[in-house]
Amino acid sequence: MSQQSNSQDDRIGPIGRMLYLAGVLGMHVARLRAADNFDVILDDLALYENVLLRHGGKRLATATALEIGYGQRPFRLIALNWIGANAVGIDLDEPVYRLDLPRIVRLLRANGMVRTAKSLVRRVIFDPSEYRKLASVLRSRYGEGRPFDARRLLSGDASAAAAWSAIPRELDLVLSEDVFEHIPPDRIPPLLDMMAERMRGDSLAIIAPMIFTGISGGHDLDWYPHRVNEPLDGRTPPWGHLVGQARPADTYLNELRRSDYRRLFERRFEILEEVDSYHRLGEQHLPPQRRAELAGYSDEDLFANKVRFVLKKR
């Protein structure tokens, strides 16, 4: 297979390779332009502030907060700290926000040569301008803020007790966006136990997984929420991931339903709010025949996508 790819490379020649590299660069620039829009981060902060107000929690700017799964670009965490929150994050992946030799060695060990090289190129060439833009958006909305300390980016498995040693003993707020669907079902109860241990009676958790059974739940880029309303045009069938008609996801998914999360959360938490960010997303792709093929799933399953649970310790 790799021999075949090499011989294809040879046939492409230097001009083909240059065009290919220009294409890759173009895609990065397009992605960068798309990422210029930090409204979603500002919207998240406003939403968290409103949730805290509704349920009598602390003000966001004075809260001690934990973000579970901050991702490769910790924009939300940077924004929380900018406005004054004492926020730390934990992610399974080694962060590339701060680059020093020990971290590069850890990246190489954890992610291998190719992923490390990609991360480094992105961090050195593309990320600095994004972080500058984020700072300018935050400055114009909130005024001057606190510079971000990379030591707030912890790495480890949030469901393992060892990862919690550097997390503050008392948390006012626990946040997690698009992460819980990547955690194996048997690791979620220990994670919830540890969250509950660090939360007080008036602390809140805002946990928003992308639910597997929704039209976007298979994590296929073609079926991400912003593309659902486009014409089908050769895409895999809608909800194909539920009936073996989809490309395999390139990430681990626990396949939990909305009702499974409810059951797991209710062991330790009272569910104060449960809101889907979308209303019956993809309904136009569900004529009676397709609905019949998905008979094993309820409407609640099929129309659950990004569901935000607001939790209070029991």
Length of the chain: 314
| Separation of CA 251 from chain center | 12
> Binding residue for ligand SAM (CB under 6 A) from 157, 255, 260, 273?
157
Residue closer to ligand SAM by CB (options 68, 194) is 68
- The SS3 assignment for 188 reads helix
Number of residues that bind ligand SAM (CB under 6 A): 16
Please identify, among the stretches 99-107, 125-133, 156-164, 242-250, the one whose residues bind ligand SAM according to the rule CB under 6 A: 156-164
Q: What is the dihedral of CA 116, 89, 274, 218, to 10 degrees?
A: 10
Strands (E), the chain: 64-68, 86-91, 153-155, 171-177, 199-208, 269-276, 307-313
Residue closer to ligand SAM by CB (options 71, 84) is 71
Smallest gap from residue 3 Cβ to ligand SAM (A): 33
| 300 is a site residue for ligand SAM (CB under 6 A) | no
Residue closer to ligand SAM by CB (options 127, 297) is 127
Handedness of CA 214, 220, 223, 226 (dihedral sign): positive
Please identify, among the stretches 101-109, 155-163, 242-250, 287-295, the one whose residues bind ligand SAM according to the rule CB under 6 A: 155-163
Q: How far apart are CA 137 and CA 235, in angstroms?
A: 36
Smallest gap from residue 165 Cβ to ligand SAM (A): 14
Residues 55-94 as x/- pattern, contact with ligand SAM by CB under 6 A: -------------xxxx------------------xxxx-
Residues 125-154 as x/- pattern, contact with ligand SAM by CB under 6 A: ------------------------------
- The SS3 assignment for 231 reads coil
Residue closer to ligand SAM by CB (options 155, 259) is 155
Residue 292 CB neighbour total at 10 angstroms: 8
List 171's β-bridge partners, or say none.
199
Residues 208-234: b if buried by 16+ CB within 10 A, e if exposed: bbbbbbbbbbbbbebbebeebeeeeee
- The residue with tokens 């395999």 is 248
| 182 is a site residue for ligand SAM (CB under 6 A) | yes
Which CA distances in Å does 158 have to 161, 167, 298, 299? 8, 10, 31, 32
Smallest gap from residue 30 Cβ to ligand SAM (A): 18
| 159 is a site residue for ligand SAM (CB under 6 A) | yes
> Binding residue for ligand SAM (CB under 6 A) from 45, 88, 107, 179?
179
| 177 is a site residue for ligand SAM (CB under 6 A) | yes
Residues that bind ligand SAM (CB under 6 A): 68-71, 90-93, 157-159, 177-179, 182-183
